[in-house]
Each structure stands twice: as C-alpha cells, then as structure tokens.
C-alpha cells in the first residue's frame, strides 16, 4: 500500500523540516523526488540522505516567488505526478505592527510561491492526464492565532486555493488537498524560541508544546505520513479536503 513507484514528485521547501521529512518518506515509497529549495546546501543535504538510503532525488535551486525560475525548473523536470507546495515563511505581528515590507514578503513566498508552482505544474499534469497536488496550509487558516496576522492571511489563501484547484481540475483527473498542522517541532521552532526567548528556551518550548491538547508538538514524520496517504493511489477518492493534524488544537481547545 501507499506505493509511489515510478512517480515523479516535486516538493518545494524540501531542504528542512516538514518538506525534508516528506521528501524522505516519498523516496522510500519509490518516488523520484525533486527538491525545490532556495537554500542549495539544504536541498543537497536532503538529496544525499535519500540517495544514501537507496532512493532517487535531485536538487533544484529555486526562489518560489520568482515565476520564471519556477517555470524553468518545472519545464526542466518535464513530467510531474505529484506536487507538494510546502515552501513558506513565518512572521510574528498584528495588523498594525506588520510592516509593508514584511507583508509583501509573506505574500510573495506563501501565496505567490504556491500560485507559481500551481501555474507551472498543472499544465504538465493535464498533459499527462492526471496528477496530485498537496498544499501545506495551517490551523491559522481557520482559527484565530495571536500575533500571526500576515502568516494567517497567507495560509487562508492557501486553503482557498486548494478548494479552487480541486474544483477546476476535476475533469483533468487532478486531485488537490491540503494539510493544516498545528505546531510541529522543526529546526525553525528551535531557532524562533532561541531568538525571541533567550534564557527561557525550555519554559517556552514546554508552553508551546502544551498548547496542543495532546500535550506535545507534532513531528515532521507524522505530517509526512499523512502526505504519503493523500498523494497515493489509495486516496484516489479524496479531493478538495483540508486535513487537521493538530493534536486536538482546533476541536478540543475550549
């Protein structure tokens, strides 16, 4: 079950965290993995891990917000069965404390970056007659998260794009779903805590962990396992859905 043998998968932001976990799991399932990543060293690290484990992977240096770069990379790959729109950046701030520069940066990466990959990949999937798209949204798309104005806005857009794409390409046999994680323990989380709460790292980590009713943060590998199901043939009847992966945050936090 859940084999991706002979399938070509593009994973944006596959150099670290959730994207890297998805890339590794997909390669183990038999996919040829293409890592789209702004950081070439991080992308190559993921590729090396996959190849050392006997898998197939290629790194592609790409700025998700630059449409021409994105188009060039996808055209070079040529044939795509699976697209995972994972690349994204975070931001802390409210509407009146978010600068125009930061707002534009979030839009460029988290919204335009997703659009750019959709714009480039869908014609290749239509040509093949099928495809699977998975977007990384967030609980912030549907739940009010303090101090996350721009980030929440961008993930709301990702959620909306998921529904739109799922509807528009039914006749082309292209499925589109999204995953909405709560806090997942990645290197980004550790860096964020160290930068903003120096000297209180353990205390803040514990507080953030316990904000999920299940009592801990998620693991990148747990997101990757759900991604594998949604991108496999076993999920062939699933499209236009958003999956909470949140330790009970949305439904049980009351």
| pLDDT, tens only, 8-66 | 999 999 999 999 999 999 999 999 999 999 999 999 999 999 999 999 999 999 999 99
Region 206-221 average pLDDT: 95
DSSP category for residue 171: G
Q: Categorize the per-residue pLDDT at 217 as very low, low, confident or very high, splitting at 50, 70 and 90.
A: very high
- Token pair for residue 207? 């507080």
Report d(CA 133, CA 146) in Å as an integer: 29
Does this model's pTM top 0.85? My answer is: yes
At residue 243, what are phi and psi to the nearest 5 degrees? -110, 115
- Token pair for residue 50? 């996959």
Please list, in sequence order, all residues whose beta carbon lies within 8 angstroms of the beta carbon of residue 235, skipping any fewer than 6 positions away. Answer: 132, 175, 177, 229
Cα torsion through 226, 227, 229, 235, rounded to 10: 120
**Least-confidence region, from 43-47, 97-101, 203-207:** 203-207
With residues binned 3-state (H G I as helix, E B as strand, rest as coil), the percentages for the chain, rounded to 5, are: 50, 15, 30
Region 95-113 average pLDDT: 98
Report d(CA 250, CA 182) in Å as an integer: 9
Q: Which pLDDT belongs to residue 242?
A: 98
Catalytic annotation on 151?
yes
**For residue 76, how many other CB atoms are within 10 A of its CB?**
10
Alpha helices in 53-176 (DSSP H): 67-77, 100-106, 113-128, 149-168
8 Å CB contact between 51 and 76: no
From the list 74, 115, 151, 243, the catalytic residue is 151
Q: Which helix (H) or strand (E) holds 10?
A: strand 8-12
Q: pLDDT at residue 254 above 80?
A: no
pLDDT tens figures, 176-196? 999 999 999 998 889 888 888
Mean pLDDT of the chain: 96
pLDDT tens figures, 140-181? 999 999 999 999 999 999 999 999 999 999 999 999 999 999
Please list, in sequence order, all residues whose beta carbon lies within 8 angstroms of the beta carbon of residue 3, skipping any fewer than 6 positions away. Answer: 29, 30, 232, 233
């Amino acid at each position: 079950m859940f084999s991706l043998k002979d399938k070509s998968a593009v994973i944006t932001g596959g150099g670290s965290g959730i994207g890297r976990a998805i890339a590794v799991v997909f390669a183990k399932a038999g996919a040829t993995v293409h890592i789209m990543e702004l950081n070439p060293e991080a992308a190559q690290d993921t590729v090396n891990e996959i190849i050392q484990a006997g898998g197939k992977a290629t790194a592609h240096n790409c700025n998700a917000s630059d449409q021409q770069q994105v188009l060039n990379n996808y055209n070079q790959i040529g044939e795509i069965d699976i697209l995972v729109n994972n690349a994204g950046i975070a931001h802390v701030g409210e509407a009146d404390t978010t600068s125009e520069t930061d707002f534009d940066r979030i839009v460029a990466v988290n919204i335009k970056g997703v659009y750019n990959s959709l714009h480039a990949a869908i014609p290749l999937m239509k040509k093949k007659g099928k495809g699977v798209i998975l977007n990384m949204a967030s609980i912030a798309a549907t739940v009010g998260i303090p101090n996350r104005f721009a980030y929440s806005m961008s993930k709301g857009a990702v959620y909306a794009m998921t529904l739109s794409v799922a509807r528009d390409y039914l006749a082309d046999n292209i499925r589109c779903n999204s995953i909405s994680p709560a806090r997942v323990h990645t290197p980004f989380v550790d860096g964020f805590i160290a930068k903003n709460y120096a000297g209180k790292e353990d205390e803040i980590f514990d507080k953030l962990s316990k904000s999920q009713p299940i009592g801990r943060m998620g693991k990148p590998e747990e997101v990757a396992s759900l991604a594998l199901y949604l991108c496999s043939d076993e999920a062939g009847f699933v499209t236009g859905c958003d999956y909470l992966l949140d330790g009970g945050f949305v439904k049980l936090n009351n």
